[in-house]
Amino acid sequence: MNRALLSLAIALFSVAPVIPALAQAPRSTNSTEFPAQGANPQSFIPKGWKIESTTQGDLNGGSSAAQGDRTPDAVLRLINNSGDRTLLVLQKSNGQWRRIGVAPRLLLCSTCGGMLGSIQLKIENGVILVDQLRGSREAVSTLHRFRLDKASNRLVLIGFDMEVRDRATGEETRESSNFLTGQKITEKYRANRQRDGIELVSRQRSTISRTTRAIETVDIAETRL
């Protein structure tokens, strides 16, 4: 996860009040705003939106290259005039780009991250990693993992990690959920006696549903302990 930014945030301790939950206004964005196919990535961008960043990689685990299609898949981070963000995932086949996923509620809006707000996108081993940091005194780091389900040809959530740290007390809770194995690990930490680090207080493993949700249904506002 975004440990470098999280460490910097801890070092720059703020006395701002704890943020108990993400305050993000309801989104009016829906997938029908974005075309199902187009000649190039720009042709998917509706009026009032623009591309903030583009992340390229292979979501097929190398199968595209094996078939002779070496055009990388594209993950676009979009923002509109109101500051709302959307994640748009495109794939090229037979010379035509098509939309394979859109997440209208996954990304923090431009004013929703507090003093720590940041978003990082990566594609590693066919998995889209969406790493976000938000908060002030309470630092909240989330990592969503999405993979292309070949049976349904849809992007689904296969894993989710979250770290919540109180920068005043040093208390920290970490959760890691794997929706493919149905396992969840929860760890709690506290500041050590020297106040120069943290120590593990408890570690618990639990069973969760092995349901993989479509990327379109994932909402960053749901991420809380």
Spatial contact of 163 and 1, defined as CB atoms under 8 Å apart: yes
**176 φ, ψ (degrees, to nearest 5):** -135, 120
- Locate 93 and state its tokens: 């086949």
Parallel/antiparallel/unpaired status of strands 96-103 and 37-38 = antiparallel
Number of other CB atoms surrounding residue 115 within 10 Å: 13
d(CA 87, CA 53): 10
Residue 22, pLDDT score: 54
Nearest to 225 by CA among 138, 159, 156, 158: 138
**pLDDT of 63 strictly over 80:** no
How confident is the model over 91-123, as pLDDT tens digits?
Answer: 998 889 999 999 999 999 999 998 889 999 999
Residue type, 53: S
Spatial contact of 96 and 39, defined as CB atoms under 8 Å apart: yes
Spatial contact of 203 and 187, defined as CB atoms under 8 Å apart: yes
Q: pTM of the full predicted structure?
A: 0.84
Alpha helices in the chain (DSSP H): 3-11, 63-66
